[in-house]
Amino acid sequence: MKIIIALVLIFCWCNSEGQAVLVQRNTEVYVKRNSTLEVRESCLYQINNSHYAHEGKISIPYVKGNTKLLTAEIQDLYGNTIRKLKNKDLIIHNNFSSDAFHADDMVMEFDLIWHEFPYRIKYSYEYSEKDYMYVAYWSPYVKPNLSVESAMLAIRHPVDYEVYMDYDDRLKHEFSIAEDERVDYWKIEDLPGIEGRESFGSPVEELIPVVAVVPAQFDYGVKGALRSWSDFGQWIDQLNVGLDELTSIEKNTIDQLVAEVEDKREVVRTLYHYLQDNTRYINVDIDFGGMKPYSATYVCENKYGDCKALTNYMKAMLSYVNIPSYYTLVAAGENQRRVNQDFPSQQFNHVILMVPLEGDTIWLENTSKINAFNYLGTFTQNRHAFMVNGVNSQFVKTPALKREDCLTVDKYHYTINSQGNGKLHLKRALKGPLFEDYLYMKENYNSGDLHDYFSQYLDIPKSELMEWHFDSVGRDSDHLPVNLDFKVRDQFHHVAGMKVLSPQVLNMNLEEPGERKSPLRINYPINNVDSIIYEIDDLKKYSLALPASFEVESKFGRFELSCFHEDNKVIYVRRFELYMANYPLSEYKEFYHFIHTIKTFKKGSSTILTAL
């Protein structure tokens, strides 16, 4: 019998994909007759290797006074308990996130780590909630990088408790009705782990199967409904009622600021600059699950707030000067999951302000002290955002970055001797995502950090960064110039008595077509133009073999390269573009071939110098 058990255990160990696996996950949700939500969760992991011991760092949602940890222990493969967690090992804290949209969410954390492998981790907990907008938002994964052997969700509720459901077809769904209760089950087995976002790929959130269940009616701060997006917008409006009152001191300040400003656009600009200069963004604990902003009065007095509070405050200032604006919810992030417009529900993590003017619409990102006026950027561009306007609430499209908005122009000027030693001056004129990155670093990094970043990120072979500076631009500029000076050496390769100049090749690492899992998503245009000038001492003493001009274009983008000789200079001019678009997985191979063609040519685009 022991031999049989041992063989079974060996099979289970070998059958668990990877070095750590979620063996079993069971989630049970019960909506009681009084609408209280009770949730019970149990998980069983297997850790096969010390490199994956960190997966024993567990984090679970915590509802103050309503969460109970039922079990937390380390087991051997026979199910015997090796160690149980002690209460003193529990840590409870705010689940602060970069967007702070639900800043009062709490988590309970603990470690279940052992030194002998393989071992298993088992824990279970339960909690209850009275205020909620989701009956369940559930995925089989606890951590997407770990494969799942078996997962199940069960939701039990009274038959007259109306809910709306949205779920992935990969999940097997069944339901039963007995007397006055309905139970829905979703199950899945043998789900592979997801190792993270692929190059130009979909966000992980769009790759994992999800079950979303919302109540038709709810009471979450104020009563609301989710039968339509209009219902949701009315609820947000009701949540914000009475929060737009400014202090008398603030009103006097605004009067002085705009007293001589007649153009409405300039009034908005003036007040936006005032917001940036006099408030700061901060995570704050707020009522009703992070959905209700602090009042405009609070921001007037404290000079800080989260995205909701600062947007509400900006809206209140504009309202005071009779300029209407709209509190607008958005799923923010450079590669954010798209909103499902067929499923009215809370799917947003950020708030911006839409200000419609005659013949124009202004968009304000109110959490940034450095953003240009009317600049959204990669964080919220090209989104279906939700404009809150009571019964007339609706989806609106935020402006998309155009190719000219993302233009980066790099001018490399090498001055070198016949040994390839000398200096390099690089002038970068940045727009779009690089502009955003560099502007943030300019305002938040110290000199040493910037020096390290430039040296490592630019990765110019055999160089040493000597000095750098940013050119001065206005606060509402959408571009940023930076100048960098390097000492360089050995810029020639030597082959059979010849000197070879080889500009850097396109650095873009892509998955092989056979390994690709997700569709192709280019969220914004890539538009790079660079010129590389090699000014070389005694160039007249060499004959030159220049690379031929090259151009390739496809539906994905284009690339051009030309090279010419002028006096004592060898000059390269290159242009590379990728067009903003989405493509199915079936077209990835064609995209891969397009990029591979460019990289192959650039590797062969050297200039050869032969002594006369």
417: domain CATH number? 2.60.120.1130
| 121 within some domain | yes
pLDDT confidence band for 289 (50 / 70 / 90): low
Please state whether the peptide bond connecting residue 118 to the residue before it is cis, i.e. omega within 30 degrees of 0. Answer: yes
What does the pLDDT look like over 54-81, one tens digit per residue?
999 999 988 878 899 999 999 999 999 9
Would you say residue 103 has pLDDT above 80?
no
Kindly state whether residues 448 and 571 are assigned to the same domain: yes
Domain edge (last residue) among 184, 215, 246: 215
- What is the reported pLDDT for 4? 34
103 Cβ neighbours under 8 A, 6+ residues apart? 94, 96, 97, 283, 284, 285, 286, 290, 306
- Quick one: which of 124, 87, 131, 126 has its CA closest to 105? 131
What does the pLDDT look like over 389-400, one tens digit per residue?
999 999 999 999
Concatenate the DSSP letters of all residues of 373-441 into one string.
Answer: TT--GGGTTT-EEEE-BTBT-EEEEPPPPPGGGGEEEEEEEEEE-TTS-EEEEEEEEEEHHHHHHHHHH
pLDDT confidence band for 505 (50 / 70 / 90): confident
Share of the chain above pLDDT 90, in %: 86
Cα 174 to Cα 534: distance, rounded to the nearest angstrom: 69
Kindly state whether residues 336 and 413 are assigned to the same domain: no
Residue ranges of E strands in 261-405: 280-281, 304-305, 326-330, 350-357, 360-364, 384-387, 394-397
| 484 within some domain | yes
What does the pLDDT look like over 141-170, one tens digit per residue?
999 999 999 999 999 999 999 999 999 999
Kindly state whether residues 547 and 594 are assigned to the same domain: yes
Domain that includes residue 282, residue range: 224-397
Kindly state whether residues 315 and 436 are assigned to the same domain: no
- What is the reported pLDDT for 459? 84
Cα 273 to Cα 517: distance, rounded to the nearest angstrom: 45
- Average pLDDT over every residue of 428-438: 97
Kindly state whether residues 435 and 297 are assigned to the same domain: no
pLDDT confidence band for 3 (50 / 70 / 90): very low
Domain edge (last residue) among 367, 397, 427: 397
Kindly state whether residues 412 and 351 are assigned to the same domain: no
384 Cβ neighbours under 8 A, 6+ residues apart? 338, 339, 341, 395, 396, 397
- What is the reported pLDDT for 519? 95
- Average pLDDT over the chain, rounded to whole? 93
Determine how many CB atoms are found less than 10 A away from the CB of residue 117.
Answer: 15
What does the pLDDT look like over 203-243, one tens digit per residue?
999 999 999 999 999 999 899 999 999 999 999 999 999 99
Kindly state whether residues 344 and 445 are assigned to the same domain: no
Kindly state whether residues 380 and 478 are assigned to the same domain: no
Kindly state whether residues 419 and 535 are assigned to the same domain: yes
Cα 128 to Cα 93: distance, rounded to the nearest angstrom: 18
Kindly state whether residues 415 and 384 are assigned to the same domain: no
pTM equals 0.92
CATH code at position 86: 2.60.40.3140
- Quick one: which of 125, 48, 117 has its CA closest to 85? 125
Domain edge (last residue) among 363, 397, 431: 397
544-567 burial: b if 16+ Cβ within 10 Å, else e:
eebbeebeeeeebbbbebebeeee
CATH code at position 335: 3.10.620.30
Kindly state whether residues 27 and 160 are assigned to the same domain: yes
Burial class (CB in 10 A: 0-12, 13-18, 19+), 569: middle
pLDDT confidence band for 463 (50 / 70 / 90): very high
pLDDT confidence band for 288 (50 / 70 / 90): very low
Q: How many domains does the chain have?
A: 3
249 Cβ neighbours under 8 A, 6+ residues apart? 300
pLDDT confidence band for 14 (50 / 70 / 90): very low
Would you say residue 13 has pLDDT above 60?
no
- What is the reported pLDDT for 104? 54
1 Cβ neighbours under 8 A, 6+ residues apart? none
Kindly state whether residues 376 and 434 are assigned to the same domain: no
- What is the reported pLDDT for 284? 59
Would you say residue 2 has pLDDT above 70?
no
Would you say residue 18 has pLDDT above 90?
no
